[in-house]
Amino acid sequence: MSNIIKNSQKNVFNDEIIERKNKFFNMKKKGLILPDRFKKNDNLKKISEKYYNKNIDELKILNIYVAISGRMIQRRIMGKAAFCILQDIEGKIQIYVNEKKISSNLYNDHFKKWDLGDILGVTGLLFKTKTGELSIYCDNINILSKSLKPLPNKFHGLSNQEIRYRKRYLDLISNNKIYKIFRYRSDIITKIRNFMIQNNFLEVETPMLHRIPGGANARPFITYHNEINASMYLRIAPELYLKQLIIGGFERIFELNRNFRNEGISSRHNPEFTMMEAYIAYSNYEDMMQFTEKMLKDITTLIFKNNKIIFDKYEFDFSQPFHRLTMKNAILQFNKHITLSDLQDFKKITLFAESIGIKIEKKWGIGHIENEIFEKTVEKKLIQPTFITEYPIEVSPLARRNDINQNIADRFELFIAGYEIANGFSELNDAEDQKNRFLKQIKQSYKEKNENMFYDEDYIEALKYGLPPTSGLGIGIDRLIMILTNQTSIRDVILFPTLRSLKK
């Protein structure tokens, strides 16, 4: 589009804003006071659902009187009568406005001067037009709020993705599908919470501000508490606090809340995100895998009335058993030219990793390299719901060692459509082992000048009192909602995603 056309549209837009402001000024000058309430007796979706199938004669007999409100998005004036469309968050309806019915003053001096985008309150009888459109025969109409700016669809809709995210209110006004996504989000979170409570979990709340960031290897956001003269960190994970509650005697707990990680922004990552973490005392990671699978199957059935989900170009049947693969077997399945012995030989696994573009760091052992190969060559190919087990202990600092093979952890991750959805493991409850792992991480972080590693003495102190055998689970709620609502960007399931600053 040429600059001349853009400037022309901008001038028209600005002229309309000035005109609307002048209208509103004159309306107030003549005594307009916008009401502080409007009593409505139904919303547009319910009205449509109740009466859509009624014919003209049936509606006359029923004599349904409604009081509704909404934003005027269309209007067609035909002399002394007009049709307009009112829209609320869930639906829309046609309003028939007649000068004789509402008075000449209200029709000519008010209604005709209102603009698209204005929020109106309407009362009247339901009827159907000759073409069969459910409508309201208006007997009174009032302006409830003035829109000083034109709606975006007046200029070809809200197609700019960046504007959609920055001005979500315009996105919601312009596209009812956006509301449906976030309605589903609310339903999914509610169903998860209810499922946990019905399975005898207690919901708890742990601090958002931490003295020491822990529970995950991630860069934290840092703030400062003036009263106690100390740096504080927005939590990257609630894990260590939740396990202290298990030590204290709780047996089934969960927390569904926000975590914050001062890292990259992408279609899969938002620095502020929603997680659910859950812990079950006296259980192991295999129990938690079964629980996770059951929860996801039950929730999809409750919300979508069946177990089949469409995401992007894939279809998932959640009624089928989830696949299970060890990390090594998954790597071998998707890398046919290497063998199990290659994965167990440091020199061979290093050469293979380098051949596919992985930059090996000095501190890495075989397990860490194996995990990098998995992430590079396998992760995005795990389309159907798949549990990956037998993670290297090197990349599982809070997980229990396997009894038979001390080099792997009793841990799983769940992948769907190439996305990591959940992470769980049998919790490490050996205080000395946990202390040594923390110290090893700290020692390595000093070498790398990594300021994100801290020794959590309080957690080690708590562990010394005894953590029962426990399994833990973390589910990325935003990613799960992406898949269940068929959205390929995390920004489309977060109402106000984090965005880069606009260049001035």
Whether residue 56 contacts residue 128, with contact meaning beta carbons closer than 8 Å, is answered with yes
Dist. CA 47–CA 69, nearest whole Å: 12
Phi, psi of 186 (to 5 degrees): -60, -45
Dist. CA 488–CA 312, nearest whole Å: 7
Distance of CA 210 to the CA centre of its chain: 24
Please report, in range form, the residues annotated as the binding site for Mg(2+). 413, 420
Specify which residues 135 forms β-bridges with.
94, 127
User: Using CA atoms in the order 258, 260, 264, 268, what is the torsion angle rounded to 10 degrees?
Assistant: -20
Pair of tokens at residue 478: 């935003």
The DSSP output letter for 12 is H
Residue 307: CA atoms inside 13 Å, Cβ hemisphere, count? Answer: 13
Please report, in range form, the residues annotated as the binding site. 413, 420
How many residues are present in the chain? Answer: 504
Give the list of residues 6+ apart from residue 93 with CB closer than 8 angstroms, or none: 44, 47, 48, 68, 70, 85, 86, 134, 135, 136
* Spatial CA neighbour of 216 closest among 418, 454, 481, 447: 454
What is the per-residue DSSP string for 71-133?
EEEEEEEETTEEEEEEE-SS-EEEEEEEHHHH-HIIIIIIGGG--TT-EEEEEEEEEE-TT--
